[in-house]
C-alpha cells in the first residue's frame, strides 16, 4: 500500500523582509571589509611544507617557532567504512592501540606521558582513525613522547583482557545510545540514506556485531590498515624542517610499508523520498531530514558551504531558524549542515519539537528548502554570511592544535596545500547565482529521507511515499541500526 505522507504537502513559506535603507550600504562596506580581512588572513595563514617519508607516509608540517610545543597527528584510512561485515571493528582496533604497546601496559603508557606532561589521544570516525600527541619540544621530553607514539602505532600488544574491557566499554556506550532519541535518529538516518554503502553503519557498531568481534580480527585490521602508505603525518611545532623530517621518519619507520586502502564506492542516489517514524517515549520529536550531499574537494563545495550558512548553518539568524523558530515557535533550535567525506557525506536538516507539532515543523523545513533552492540567497543574506565565515576564520587557526587538525584533513583528503591560504578568498568569491545553481543541482526536496523519533500524533500518517509503509521500529531495535 502506498501511503501519501502529509510531510510532503507543499505550502509556501512567507517571503523575507525587504532590505532597509541601511542594508543598501552593505555591499560597499562589505567590499572594503573583505579586502582588509583577506589581506590579514593571507598574512596569518600557515605556510604548509609537505613531503613523503621513505616508507611512503605523506607528511604536512607547519613550523611554529616561539612556543616550545609539538602537536602531531597520524591519520589512517582506517575508519568504520573499512569495517566490512564487522561493524565496530575499526573503533575497537583504534582503542586497543593505547591500551598496551611495546613493553608498556596501558597504565605505564599513561604514566610515561603524564610524567613528561604530554598528551596522547586517539579516535575513529567513518573515514579515518588517528592517534595524536601534544608534547614539549625539550629533547628529553620529546623522546619519551615520540617513542610512546611510535610504539602505539607499530607495536600494540592486543592483550585479551584489554580487548574484553574495551568491548564492555563499547557495549555500555551502545546501551546508552539505544535510550537516546538523537542517537536513534542519527543511526536510522545514515542507514536510510546509505543502504548497503559502508557509511551506513555507525562507528560503534551494534550490540550483536561488537559481541561477535574477536581479538584476532582486530590484529588483522591493524595489519591491513595501520601501514605507512595508508598514513598521513601532520605536525605543527617549534621545529626546523630537518627536525620534522627526522620525526616523521621515526614515526613511520617501524610501520610496515603496506598499501593505501582501496577507494570507497560512491553511494547510490536515492530513488525517491522515504519517511520512517520510530516510536520513543519522549515529549519531543527529533527530526532528521536529508540525503547524500557532497565530498571533500567537491567542485560545489564553496557555493554549498556558504549557501548553507545562509540557509541553516548560521544559528538564530539563518533562514531555517527564522521560519521554524522565530515566526512559528516550532523549535528552540533548528539547523542544517553538509558533512563532506571521502565519498559524498550527508546533507542534513534537524530540529526538535513537541510531538504534536512534528508534522508542521517538517512541512516548514521542506518548504523553506524548496524556496531557497529556487531563489537562492539575496545579496544581503550572502554578504552577511560571507562576513561571518571570513571574520571567524582566524579563530579556527588560532592554535597549533586547530592547525594540526586542518593539516590532517588536508593531507587525508588530498586537498591543495593552499587550501587555508585561499579559503577566505573562495568564500568571498561565491555569488548568489552560484549558490542557487549548486542547491538546484545537488539537493532534491522530492528525494529526501525523513526520520522522526518520538511519540507519533494520533492523526499522523507515516511510511514511504513511494512504497509500503514502514512498520514501527521499537526503541531497542532502533538502537541496533
Q: What is the DSSP letter of 321?
A: I
Q: What is the pTM (predicted TM-score) of this model?
A: 0.86
Instruction: Tell which CATH architecture fits domain 274-454.
Output: 2-Layer Sandwich (3.30)
Give the pLDDT score at 45: 72
Residue 380 has pLDDT above 50, yes or no: yes
CA neighbor of 305 nearest in space, from 288, 293, 291: 293
Round to whole Å and give the CA distance between 132 and 71. 8
Residue-wise pLDDT for 425-436, tens only, equals 999 999 999 999
CA neighbor of 96 nearest in space, from 266, 275, 220, 278: 220
Confidence of residue 468 (pLDDT cuts 50, 70, 90): very low
User: Domain 49-254 falls in which CATH fold?
Assistant: Cytochrome Bc1 Complex; Chain A, domain 1 (3.30.830)
Residue-wise pLDDT for 268-321, tens only, equals 999 999 999 999 999 999 999 999 999 999 999 999 999 999 999 998 999 999
CA neighbor of 30 nearest in space, from 380, 393, 432: 380
Domain with CATH 3.30.830.10 in the chain: 49-254, 274-454
Residue-wise pLDDT for 155-168, tens only, equals 999 999 999 999 99
Q: Is the four-CA dihedral 49, 399, 151, 88 of positive or negative sign?
A: negative
| 45, 421 contact by CB (below 8 A) | yes
Q: How many CA atoms lie within 13 A of 264 on its CB side?
A: 27
Residue-wise pLDDT for 99-133, tens only, equals 999 999 999 999 999 999 999 999 999 999 999 99
For the chain, percent helix, then strand, then coil, each to nearest 5? 50, 15, 35
- The three cell numbers locating residue 431: 555569488
Mapping DSSP to helix (H, G, I), strand (E, B) and coil, where does residue 409 land?
helix
Residue-wise pLDDT for 394-415, tens only, equals 999 999 999 999 999 999 999 9
Confidence of residue 44 (pLDDT cuts 50, 70, 90): low
CB atoms < 10 A from the CB of 147, how many? 14
Confidence of residue 370 (pLDDT cuts 50, 70, 90): very high
| 81, 264 contact by CB (below 8 A) | yes
| 289, 296 contact by CB (below 8 A) | no
Look at the chain and count its residues: 481
CB atoms < 10 A from the CB of 2, how many? 11
Confidence of residue 442 (pLDDT cuts 50, 70, 90): very high
Amino acid at each position: 500500500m502506498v501511503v501519501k505522507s502529509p510531510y510532503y504537502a507543499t505550502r509556501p513559506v512567507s517571503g523575507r523582509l525587504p532590505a532597509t535603507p541601511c542594508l543598501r550600504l552593505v555591499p560597499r562596506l562589505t567590499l572594503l571589509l573583505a579586502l582588509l580581512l583577506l589581506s590579514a588572513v593571507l598574512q596569518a595563514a600557515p605556510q604548509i611544507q609537505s613531503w613523503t617519508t621513505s616508507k611512503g607516509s605523506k607528511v604536512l608540517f607547519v613550523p611554529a617557532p616561539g612556543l616550545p610545543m609539538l602537536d602531531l597527528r597520524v591519520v589512517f584510512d582506517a575508519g568504520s567504512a573499512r569495517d566490512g561485515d564487522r561493524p565496530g571493528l575499526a573503533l575497537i582496533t583504534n582503542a586497543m592501540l593505547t591500551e598496551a604497546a611495546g613493553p608498556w601496559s596501558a597504565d605505564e603508557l599513561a604514566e610515561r606521558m603524564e610524567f613528561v606532561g604530554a598528551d596522547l589521544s586517539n579516535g575513529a570516525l567513518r573515514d579515518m582513525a588517528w592517534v595524536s600527541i601534544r608534547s614539549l619540544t625539550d629533547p628529553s621530553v620529546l623522546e619519551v613522547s615520540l617513542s610512546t607514539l611510535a610504539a602505539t602505532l607499530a607495536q600494540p600488544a592486543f592483550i585479551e583482557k584489554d580487548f574484553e574491557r574495551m568491548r564492555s566499554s563499547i557495549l555500555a556506550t551502545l546501551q546508552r545510545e539505544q535510550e537516546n532519541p538523537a542517537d536513534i535518529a542519527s543511526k536510522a538516518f545514515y542507514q536510510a540514506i546509505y543502504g548497503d554503502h559502508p557509511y551506513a553503519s555507525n562507528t560503534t557498531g551494534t550490540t550483536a556485531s561488537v559481541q561477535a568481534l574477536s581479538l584476532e580480527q582486530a590484529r588483522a585490521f591493524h595489519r591491513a590498515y595501520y601501514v605507512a602508505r595508508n598514513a598521513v603525518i601532520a605536525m605543527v611545532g617549534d621545529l626546523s624542517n630537518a627536525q620534522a623530517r627526522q620525526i616523521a621518519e621515526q614515526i613511520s619507520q617501524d610501520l610496515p610499508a603496506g598499501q593505501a586502502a582501496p577507494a570507497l564506492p560512491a553511494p547510490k542516489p536515492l530513488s525517491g523520498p522515504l519517511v520512517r517514524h520510530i516510536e520513543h517515549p519522549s515529549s519531543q520529536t527529533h527530526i532528521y531530514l536529508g540525503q547524500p550531499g557532497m565530498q571533500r574537494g567537491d567542485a560545489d563545495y564553496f557555493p554549498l558551504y556558504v549557501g548553507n550558512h545562509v540557509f541553516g548553518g548560521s544559528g538564530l539568524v539563518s533562514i531555517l531558524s527564522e521560519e521554524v523558530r522565530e515566526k512559528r515557535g516550532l523549535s528552540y533550535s533548528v539547523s542544517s549542515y553538509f558533512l563532506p567525506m571521502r565519498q559524498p557525506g550527508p546533507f542534513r536538516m534537524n530540529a526538535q519539537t513537541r510531538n504534536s507539532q512534528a508534522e508542521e515543523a517538517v512541512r516548514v523545513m521542506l518548504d523553506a528548502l524548496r524556496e531557497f533552492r529556487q531563489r537562492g540567497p539575496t545579496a544581503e543574506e550572502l554578504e552577511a554570511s560571507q562576513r561571518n565565515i571570513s571574520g571567524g576564520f582566524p579563530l579556527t587557526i588560532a592554535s597549533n592544535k586547530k592547525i594540526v587538525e586542518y593539516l590532517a584533513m588536508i593531507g587525508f583528503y588530498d586537498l591543495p596545500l593552499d587550501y587555508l591560504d585561499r579559503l577566505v578568498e573562495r568564500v568571498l568569491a561565491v555569488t548568489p547565482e552560484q549558490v542557487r545553481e549548486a542547491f538546484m543541482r545537488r539537493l532534491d526536496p522530492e528525494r529526501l529521507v525523513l526520520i522522526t523519533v518520538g511519540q507519533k500524533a494520533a492523526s499522523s500518517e507515516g511510511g514511504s511515499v513511494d512504497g509500503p509503509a514502514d512498520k514501527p521500529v521499537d526503541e531497542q531495535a532502533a538502537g541496533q541500526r
